[in-house]
Structures are given as structure tokens and as C-alpha cells.
Structure 1
Amino acid sequence: MFSAVLFDCDGVLVDSEPITNGVLREVLNEAGWALTQAECMQIFIGKAVRDERVRIERETGRPLTDEWMQAFYARRDQRLRAELQTVAGALGAVMAAHAHTEGRIACASGADRPKVVMQIEMAGMSPYFGDRIFSGHDQPRSKPHPDVYLAAAAHLGAEPSRCLVVEDTATGAMAGIAAGATVWGYCPEGHGRAFEGLPVARVFRHMDELAVALPALL
């Protein structure tokens, strides 16, 4: 069915979303936008911070400068280096995908590339992804647009329709679907509400399920 597997990073390979959004909430609160953690997750989950530039500038009354972004990145990366954990079973799923596709796997993230590379290195996955790491920041449009998944598929020489995309957010799932790929939704809580209304082919709770299913799909 599939010739390549394309993984999102945050929330799929590493449990980084609570850390990143926690730091983002801190810096936004300091800038004058009072947000709860739940509100911050709802607004920014699966998105690049810059994609919410207009709202950030409206709520804080300040321009979203490169200096502000770099300060946020530095604080975020420091926290990630200290606290980041790999999603349970993710390394095994990546190893299985790499083995069964003969290396035709990639990471396609909406986050900035230095963060993605750092996290993949910390998770021990660099030998499996190599240079096949793609950032929405390097594309004309980030998720929910399909650009980053189309770039990853093109690099692998795979038709998007024969790519399996693994995502954990509606924003990412929409990007994979728009690219013409089949999307599986990772939802450790099991309810799958993040994907309601989207044609996600399967929702699964643990990365071990993906590793077990891959041999029959590739």
C-alpha cells in the first residue's frame, strides 16, 4: 500500500508540546497577553508561532520581532534540552519504518529546523532519518498547507498517494490530507477528538501499534 512513511515530530516522536507551549505561554504573559496553558495549547498546537503573528501583535500591543523570536527559541531550547522525553515506542516505530521501506522515511515538521534536528538527535533517531528532515519554516507555507509533506515525498521520490503520514494534530492531519497522503492519527488518550471531521484513515493510541502494523502495509 505505501512506499514511504512521513513522520511529524512534536507529539509524534517526542513529547515536546507541553514544554514548548509552556515556555511560549510564559513569554506571552511577560509580553502582556495573559493566557492559561489550555488556551495556549488550543491556539498554537501544531502551528508555527509566526503564523499567529497578527493575533500576537494585537494581544500584546507589540511587534513580533526577530529578537523576540530568538529569545523565545533560546529559552525553549534550554528547557527542551533539560526535560525532553521520547514518545513511548516511537524509536521502535521509526526503526520498523526504516527497515521495511529500505530507508524511505522522513520527518516533516511545522517547527523550525534547528529544533527538529536537536530533538531527533536527543531521541536517538538521527541514524534513521539522516538528512531527510523537513521544516515548514523552509517552505512557502507551513501546516495546515501540504508544502512540507510534498517536499518530503519529492525528496524520497515517492508519490504522495503512496505515503503514510503519522500526525497527532488536526493541523498536521490537514496538511497530510491536502498532500494526497493517507494519514494515521496518533492519539494516546484514545478518543480521537482531535481528528473529528477529518478523513483520517486510522487513529491509534501507542506507537507499538504502528510498528506492528507496518510490515503488512509496506
Structure 2
Amino acid sequence: MRYDLVIFDNDGVLVDSEPISNTILAGYLTELGHPTSYEDSLRDYMGAAVHRVHDLVLERTGRRLPADFDETLHSRVFAAFERELEAVQGTDAVLGKLTADGVAYCVASSGSHERIRVGHRKTGMDAWFRDENIFSAQDVGRGKPAPDLFLHAAERMGVAPERCVVVEDSPLGVAAARAAGMDVYGFTAMTAARKLVGANGYFVDMGELPGLLA
């Protein structure tokens, strides 16, 4: 193994949440008078913390989202997670191999701590991730594409950035990893490789990841 720490994005990498959450986000924004398609939501918000939604809507329309936007969005998303969410196929095998090989791993997500934990409980990812290896954009001042979250995770895990590798599926996440001075592999199950500019390599199936990291 070339790395001492593997940092996983959460949404779309560990849990198959992006189709669910972006469908709900697009629908809610449209309901509020900001017409947004599913494809628009993926392009503009995939991999981002919720403050980016507020920022872009204000920038584009001059209008602020309602004060209870986050609470309503999260309640809708969490309810859908309870009904529909599944782990990304192959993640258990990858995490099991890292554990067997004695390689540290963690999750660093733009989502809130509550969102991460709701998804992990539903999918069984809570067997692999505990408080000590879960990091959220809530923990830092700036979310992706700033490097702060990944640098925070590395510091807390006690590993130098150059000994870390990030597994990401969003352009914002790849940019954040590169800004942190870390290698990054792009997961292309939902995002075309051409959109993940700057990644060290790409894979479409989780079964390919151990070979890339070796």
C-alpha cells in the first residue's frame, strides 16, 4: 500500500445517495420558485455543502432561501434515505481489505454529521465508521473545493497530507483533494471522468479500487 490513510467521500462513494438527494433538492428548489432540474442539481451542487445552495441562489436571483430551508430539505432527504438508501456495491469488500491490511481509513463529507450517520445506520456503514473516523464540513470553516476538510481529517487521523489518498466522485471533491496536496482517485459510476479533472486515476467499480491503491 502506497498510502497511510484512505479518505472516502460519503455521498455517491460509500452510500448511493446522490440520485435521492439531488432529486429532492431539485424538486424543493423548483417548488420555491427556482426552477431546477435533476441534471442542474448534479452539476451545481453534487459534492457541496448546503451553504453552496444558498450562495448560488442568492447570487443568481438576488433572493434568499427561506430560514427553514435546511431543516425542511434535510427532513425530506432523511425520510427518503430511510425508504430507499443503499450502500454503494463493493464498499464492504474494500473496507474489509483495508482493515485486514492495517490501513487507516476515514470519511470526509460535505454532508452534516446527522446526514452521514442517518445514511450509515440505514446501509450498515456504521459497522466501519465511528465518531473517531467521521469528518464533516461542519467541522471546518469552508467546505469543498477548499482543502480544509481533507486537511482536518488528515490531522485528526495523524497522517501527513502527502501520505493520504482521497476517493471522490465530484469535481468539487477532486479539486479539494488536489488543493490539500493529496492524491485522488475519481469514482465514475455517476460522474464522467472528463468532469473529474486532476484525479490521478479513475474507476467505475469499487472492486477496482484496491488495485489502484496498491
Query: TM over 0.5: same fold?
Result: yes
Within 2, Cα distance between the matches of 1:189 and 1:45?
A: 10
2:102 matches 1:122: no
Matched-pair contact (CA < 8 Å) for 1:32–1:59: no
- 1:66 Cα offset (Å): 3.9
Where does the alignment leave 5 or more consecutive residues of structure 1 unmatched?
A: none
Within 2, Cα distance between the matches of 1:68 and 1:89?
A: 34
- 1:191 Cα offset (Å): 4.8
Matched-pair contact (CA < 8 Å) for 2:168–2:174: yes
Within 1, Cα distance between the matches of 2:163 and 2:67?
A: 38
- 1:48 Cα offset (Å): 1.5
- 1:50 Cα offset (Å): 1.2
Within 1, Cα distance between the matches of 2:190 and 2:70?
A: 32
Within 1, Cα distance between the matches of 2:106 and 2:150?
A: 9
Structure 1 pair 190–76 and aligned structure 2 pair: CA distance change class (3 A): closer
**Normalising by structure 2, what TM-score?**
0.91
| 2:144 partner SS | coil
Query: C-alpha offsets along residues 20-56 of structure 1, whole Å, 9 cap, x if unaligned?
Result: 0111111111110112211121111111221232332
- 1:75 Cα offset (Å): 0.7
Within 1, Cα distance between the matches of 2:191 and 2:8?
A: 19
Within 2, Cα distance between the matches of 1:187 and 1:207?
A: 10
| 1:6 partner SS | strand
Matched-pair contact (CA < 8 Å) for 1:153–1:160: yes
Residue 175 of structure 1 aligns with an amino acid whose one-letter code is: A
Within 2, Cα distance between the matches of 1:189 and 1:76?
A: 19
Structure 1 pair 69–209 and aligned structure 2 pair: CA distance change class (3 A): same
Which stretches of structure 1, 4 residues or more, deviate above 3 A after TM superposition?
57-62, 211-214
Equivalent residue for 1:27?
28
- 1:118 Cα offset (Å): 1.6
Within 1, Cα distance between the matches of 2:42 and 2:23?
A: 9
Matched-pair contact (CA < 8 Å) for 1:3–1:101: no
| 1:137 partner SS | helix
Within 1, Cα distance between the matches of 2:187 and 2:62?
A: 37
Within 2, Cα distance between the matches of 1:206 and 1:185?
A: 11
| 2:99 partner SS | helix
Within 2, Cα distance between the matches of 1:112 and 1:49?
A: 9
Which range moves more in the overlay, 10-19 or 113-122? 113-122
Matched-pair contact (CA < 8 Å) for 2:147–2:180: yes
Equivalent residue for 2:206?
207
Q: Report matched runs for 1:48-67 at 5 Å.
A: 48-57=49-58, 62-67=63-68
Matched-pair contact (CA < 8 Å) for 1:92–1:211: no
**Normalising by structure 1, what TM-score?**
0.90
| 1:129 partner SS | coil
Within 2, Cα distance between the matches of 1:98 and 1:64?
A: 43
Give the aligned CA root-mean-square deviation in angstroms. 1.9
Identical aligned residues as a percent? 33
Within 2, Cα distance between the matches of 1:49 and 1:64?
A: 11
Equivalent residue for 1:157?
158
Within 2, Cα distance between the matches of 1:38 and 1:148?
A: 26
Aligned length: 212
Matched-pair contact (CA < 8 Å) for 1:91–1:123: no
Where does the alignment leave 5 or more consecutive residues of structure 2 unmatched?
A: none
Within 1, Cα distance between the matches of 2:30 and 2:48?
A: 19
Within 2, Cα distance between the matches of 1:30 and 1:14?
A: 27
Matched-pair contact (CA < 8 Å) for 1:190–1:204: no
